[in-house]
């Protein structure tokens, strides 16, 4: 499954809405991508989240220091950059 935000391409190559338990569904997704080791990355203004693609559970989370927020992000399959 290929995932972007809360939409996914299913086995029939159709775009459909999906829920991922480990994603912060109450926050706007600034960036989302597939990552190595069968994981997803979700970036919101308040957190960078690493989620298992197989279990859809949150594996790890990074938040910026107090008083800062994330405005933009980019990534490869193994690295995330938030300026």
Residue 20 DSSP SS3 = coil
d(Cα 83, Cα 77) in Å, to the nearest integer?
Answer: 18
Whether residue 47 contacts residue 78, with contact meaning beta carbons closer than 8 Å, is answered with no
- Tell me the whole-structure pTM to 2 decimals: 0.81
Whether residue 41 contacts residue 75, with contact meaning beta carbons closer than 8 Å, is answered with yes
Q: Write out pLDDT tens, residues 1-40.
A: 445 445 566 778 777 677 889 999 889 999 999 999 999 9
Predicted local distance difference test score (pLDDT) of residue 19: 80
> What is the pLDDT confidence band of residue 63, given thresholds at 50, 70 and 90?
very high
Predicted local distance difference test score (pLDDT) of residue 17: 72
């Amino acid at each position: 499954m290929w995932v972007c935000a809360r939409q996914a391409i299913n086995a029939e190559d159709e775009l459909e809405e999906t829920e991922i338990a480990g994603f912060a569904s109450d926050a706007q997704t600034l960036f989302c991508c597939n990552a190595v080791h069968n994981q997803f990355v979700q970036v919101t203004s308040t957190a960078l989240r690493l989620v298992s693609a197989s279990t859809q559970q949150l594996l790890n989370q990074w938040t910026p220091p107090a008083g800062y927020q994330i405005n933009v992000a980019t990534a490869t399959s193994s690295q995330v950059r938030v300026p």
